[in-house]
Amino acid sequence: MKILYAYQTEAEREYVAEKLVGHELVFHLGPLGEGEAWTGEGVEAISIFVNSPIGEAELNRLPNLKLITTRSTGFDHIDAEAAKKRGVTVLSVPAYGEHTVAEFAFALLFTLSRKMFAAREAVVREGSFDPKSFTGFDLYGKTLGVLGTGRIGKNVIKIAKGFGLKVLAFDLYPDQAFATEQGINYLSLDEIFQQSDIITLHLPGGQETEKIINDQAIAKFKHGMIVINTARGSLIDTEALVRGLTSGAVGGAGLDVLAEEGNVADEMHLLASPHPKAEDLKTLLLNHYLIDHPKVVITPHMAFNTAEALQRILDTTIDNLNNFKV
């Protein structure tokens, strides 16, 4: 099988080359994109990450494609309907980071609740050891709203109970057996927004969840709500979040993902393009506002990024490719 593999590090490329024996491998450094220099001639399978959107334009460049493997749990960066119409199978890695990402959600939460980033900056830049400006808040006794109770959300709930947090949950498809086992309640979004001190997002991307955190939702927040997002940037209306931070309705945000985060990474390319889209420029400015905001902690989509999780991702992807029958 001829495989086009979009890799990110040389170590990854070497490991994959060693394990995918008996296939014709074509390696491409970085994401696959409409404007990228890559050829799909004769390619029957591709392996990508979430920074490689696959839509009609990309599929048109891959006339022999039979399989898309994405090295992620979600696959909303892939036009699944278009792939299905062409008879292309889409496989993901559903169980690589249910503990890894859950732990990172709490890393973001602690950074906000105890103002650790600001405190470190004061020590490093000013040599200040005065703690008065960095009074935080306890997690114990607070109410945590968990939006999405898949594998990651379930582990967030288990961790939260260890810290003495009261947990409320929302899911498009509630798991009542899990709720009974953990002694938690599924509530409506409105009830969670009104009762929670903190919400953490673990929903998939897609039309059902796009901008689920918007002006209407924020208007129902308990004042000063902390928002954590390690799922998809599309879950949050960035303009609404900015307004919420300005008004105080949102007390802080820990974001491992941003709307159109690729525009931040490729800022110079976007600004240098002859006709950048106004919407892309607007999103870029809003994201920069969040990056510079003192009550916001932003990380570069790294919740999954541990040695153990990366190994699970590679091994599952290799199994997906080796076991697929053309």
Catalytic, out of 261, 267, 275, 293: 261
Residue 222: Cβ within 10 Å count = 17
In this predicted structure, which of 56-70, 128-142, 215-229, 307-321 has the lowest mean pLDDT? 128-142
Rounded to whole angstroms, how far apart are CA atoms 35 and 12? 24
In this predicted structure, which of 30-39, 178-187, 215-224 has the lowest mean pLDDT? 30-39
Instruction: Verify whether residue 232 is a known catalytic residue.
Output: yes
The domain limits of the chain are 2-96+307-323, 100-298
Who wins on pLDDT, 262 or 40? 40
- Residue 263 contacts residue 283 (beta carbons within 8 Å): yes
Catalytic, out of 71, 202, 301, 308: 301
Question: What's the whole-number mean pLDDT along residues 281-308?
Answer: 85
Rounded to whole angstroms, how far apart are CA atoms 138 and 109? 11
pLDDT band at 271 (very low <50, low <70, confident <90, very high): very low
pLDDT band at 179 (very low <50, low <70, confident <90, very high): very high
List the Cα angle 186/187/191 in 5-degree steps.
155
112: which 2 tokens?
């906000």
DSSP letter, residue 51: T
Question: What's the whole-number mean pLDDT along residues 107-126?
Answer: 90
Query: Mapping DSSP to helix (H, G, I), strand (E, B) and coil, where does residue 232 land?
Result: coil
Give the pLDDT confidence of 127-157 residue by residue, as tens digits.
878 888 889 999 999 999 999 999 999 999 9
| Beta pairing class for 2-7 and 45-48 | parallel
Query: What's the one-letter identity of residue 20?
Result: L
pLDDT band at 172 (very low <50, low <70, confident <90, very high): very high
Question: What's the whole-number mean pLDDT along residues 20-25?
Answer: 95
Cβ burial, residue 268 (10 Å; 0-12/13-18/19+): exposed
- Which CATH number is correct for 100-298, 3.40.50.10860, 1.10.10.60, 3.40.50.720, 3.40.50.920? 3.40.50.720
DSSP letter, residue 123: I
Percent of the chain with pLDDT over 90: 73
Rounded to whole angstroms, how far apart are CA atoms 245 and 248? 5
The per-residue pLDDT of the chain, averaged, comes to 90
pLDDT number for residue 281: 57
Residue 2: Cβ within 10 Å count = 17
The model's pTM = 0.87
Fold agreement between 2-96+307-323 and 100-298: yes
- Residue 253 contacts residue 227 (beta carbons within 8 Å): yes
CATH top class, domain 2-96+307-323: alpha beta
Query: What's the one-letter identity of residue 227?
Result: V
pLDDT band at 267 (very low <50, low <70, confident <90, very high): very low
Instruction: Verify whether residue 261 is a known catalytic residue.
Output: yes
Residue 307 has pLDDT above 90, yes or no: yes
Residue 93 has pLDDT above 70, yes or no: yes
Question: What's the whole-number mean pLDDT along residues 110-139?
Answer: 89
Query: What's the one-letter identity of residue 25?
Result: L
Catalytic, out of 24, 44, 232, 293: 232
Cβ burial, residue 214 (10 Å; 0-12/13-18/19+): middle
pLDDT number for residue 34: 61
Length of the chain: 326
Who wins on pLDDT, 60 or 38? 60
Residue 248 has pLDDT above 90, yes or no: yes
Torsion on CA atoms 120, 125, 129, 135, rounded to nearest 10 = -50
pLDDT band at 268 (very low <50, low <70, confident <90, very high): very low
Give the pLDDT confidence of 194-246 residue by residue, as tens digits.
999 999 999 998 889 999 999 999 999 999 999 999 999 999 999 999 999 99
E strand residue ranges, the chain: 2-7, 24-29, 45-48, 67-70, 89-91, 143-147, 166-170, 185-186, 198-201, 225-229, 250-255, 296-298
